[in-house]
Amino acid sequence: MVSRAEREEDSSHVQSNRIMKKAFASEPSGQPVSSSAGIAEGLARAIHEHRLAPGTKLGEDDIGDVYGVSRTVVRAALQELAHDKLVDIRRHRGAFVAQPSIREAREVFEARALLEPRTARSAAERARAADVALLRAHIEAEHRALDDRDIGAALRLSGLFHVEISKIADQHIIARFIEGLIAQSSLIIALYWQRASALCEQHAHHALLEAIAANDGARAEELMQSHLIDVLSALDLRDRPVHDVSLKEVLLGRD
């Protein structure tokens, strides 16, 4: 007979594989994409994985060529990303990957420090076995990405770990705020990180997981607070130059 521990391990492995497939899904390769939502998702992924740096110009023609769609569809996708604060649309100049200022970077992390610790407490108090398994699978997927030296995917998975905690807390309005802040944090880390710990210390997520698994709300709140302080301290909040990049090569997965 298969033990309960073995079943839980198998379940965690299956979830990890699913997450990794999503993280490493093939990038757009020129095949037509009919919806603006699909284009927005592809661009957001490239931004979150730091393949499109803050300040990069998002030419409508280039995007349209990659995805095989009209400029009208591309504009709708860019408007969606602008609503999510991932893209800045400048009159007579076009769309650019958002480039948060130092002040904005501090405000984003201040907002996260206000929301996420209490959310972590609520998540710990509500968490069930399935929730813990999902978080464990996220950590495993993040570690596998790091082992494969895919820092972009690891960063995105790290952010999703925080989003999942907010969902476990079952606070839908707050979860939406946190998801937006996490998206902006990805841009901030791309601009200002000075050491790899900005990605999220591996032990910090493990400690959070254990507190949530133990339904220890106070411990989860404390750990999240210190974790966010550590991430902020890993950022070098000084202006950096923006380097030229080929939009088509990034979206087509060419180095």
Q: For residue 191, name the pLDDT band (cuts at 50, 70, 90).
A: confident
pLDDT at 25: 39
> In terms of Cα–Cα distance, which of 212, 213, 230, 229 is closest to 221?
212
Helices marked H in 169-216 — which ranges? 172-192, 202-213
Rounded to two decimals, what is the model's pTM? Answer: 0.70
Domains of the chain (ranges, CATH numbers): 26-99+243-251 (1.10.10.10), 102-233 (1.20.120.530)
Q: What is the pLDDT, as a whole number, of residue 13?
A: 47
Q: What is the mean pLDDT of residues 207-221?
A: 97
- Return the SS3 of 89: strand
Please say if the pLDDT value at position 21 is more than 50.
no
Residue 215 has pLDDT above 50, yes or no: yes
Query: By percentage, how much of the chain surpasses pLDDT 70?
Result: 79
Determine the longest span between alpha carbons in the chain, in angstroms: 68
pLDDT-derived band at 148 (thresholds 50, 70, 90) equals confident
Average pLDDT over residues 42-59: 86
pLDDT at 125: 97
Q: Which of 186, 190, 168, 166 is nearest to 178 (CA)?
A: 166
